[in-house]
Homo-oligomer: A and B are copies of this chain.
Amino acid sequence: MSFKTISSHMAAQLDKELMGPEVGFTLEQLMELAGLSVAQAIVKEFPYVPSRKSQVLVLAGPGNNGGDGLVCARHLALFGFNPVVYYPKRSSKTPFFSQLVSQLQFFKIPVLGSDDQWIKYLDEKDTLCVVDAIFGFSFRPPVREPFGSVLKELRKVQERLPIVSVDIPTGWDVDEGPLDNESIVPKVLVSLTAPKPCASKIDSLETQHYVGGRFIPGSFANKYGFEPFDYDKGDQVTKLVPT
């Protein structure tokens, strides 16, 4: 596919600038829009049908990628899906992450911790897809526990249970792509703001590619070396079509 990518280093820089004193975005705002866009990608890729299975397992990591997953789960519930969240390592960096958990509980969405059985939800009879919101663009190997085991389980089921990765397929090198043939292969990738270099490796994998996190002006995209993406009307997500 022909699209510009933004390196892990530049993505970190971009985020810092967006939340810096001059631009003034808050984490709460950006995470809300990012999580919403992932939920909208799921609606587009797996349209909700009342009579069909509607369970979505959301795997949330310890950082901001996990936070995007928590927000996504809440919007999925509003869209008629039936999310279950596995959130084994919880951030205490800001109280906002525990507020996101309270919001899920308000929606009566199960939020499983490290002691809970989550593997039973990896059953394609009940589950429509799995959201991989474990690690984002600041991931550096190795994958630590319990997420190493989570990836092992995902590899076992990925042929029959589609994985939707948020920004980065967990375990992939952000700039290089899959590290070995043990890496997971997502059915859907939702890049946030702009694809990271690893996204150019999905060409040969038949992964559907979306861009979400619609919150920067075109001039700012240009400053970071990419073009604004072509969203439809008021959509928060756009599908990239192979060229």
Q: Please report A residues at the B interface, Cβ cutoff 8 Å.
A: 21-26, 28-29, 32-33, 36, 39-40, 43-44, 47-48, 75, 77-79, 96, 98-100, 102-103, 106-108, 214-215, 217, 219-220, 231, 233-234, 236
Name the B residues within 8 Å of A106 (CB-CB): 22-24, 217, 220
A174 → chain B, closest Cβ, in Å? Answer: 26
| Bound-state Cα–Cα, A108 to B231, Å | 20
Name the B residues within 8 Å of A231 (CB-CB): 78
Contact between chains at A234 and B40 (CB < 8 Å)? yes
Contact of A233 among B25, B43, B96 (CB under 8 A): B43
A132 → chain B, closest Cβ, in Å? Answer: 20
Contact between chains at A78 and B214 (CB < 8 Å)? yes
A101 → chain B, closest Cβ, in Å? Answer: 8
Name the B residues within 8 Å of A28 (CB-CB): 26, 28-29, 32
Contact between chains at A23 and B234 (CB < 8 Å)? no
- Closest chain B residue to A26, Cβ basis: B28
Contact between chains at A217 and B79 (CB < 8 Å)? no
For the complex formed by this chain, how many copies does it contain in all? Answer: 2
When A29-B28, A99-B24, A106-B220 are in contact, do A43 and B234 touch as well, CB less than 8 Å?
Answer: yes
When A29-B32, A234-B40 are in contact, do A24 and B215 touch as well, CB less than 8 Å?
Answer: no
Name the B residues within 8 Å of A25 (CB-CB): 99, 103
Q: Given contacts A106-B217, A106-B220, could you give 5 more A-B pairs where the C-beta distance is less than 8 Å?
A: A24-B102, A78-B214, A78-B215, A79-B234, A108-B217
- Closest chain B residue to A19, Cβ basis: B99
Contact between chains at A23 and B102 (CB < 8 Å)? yes
- Closest chain B residue to A43, Cβ basis: B234
Name the B residues within 8 Å of A219 (CB-CB): 108
| Bound-state Cα–Cα, A36 to B100, Å | 20
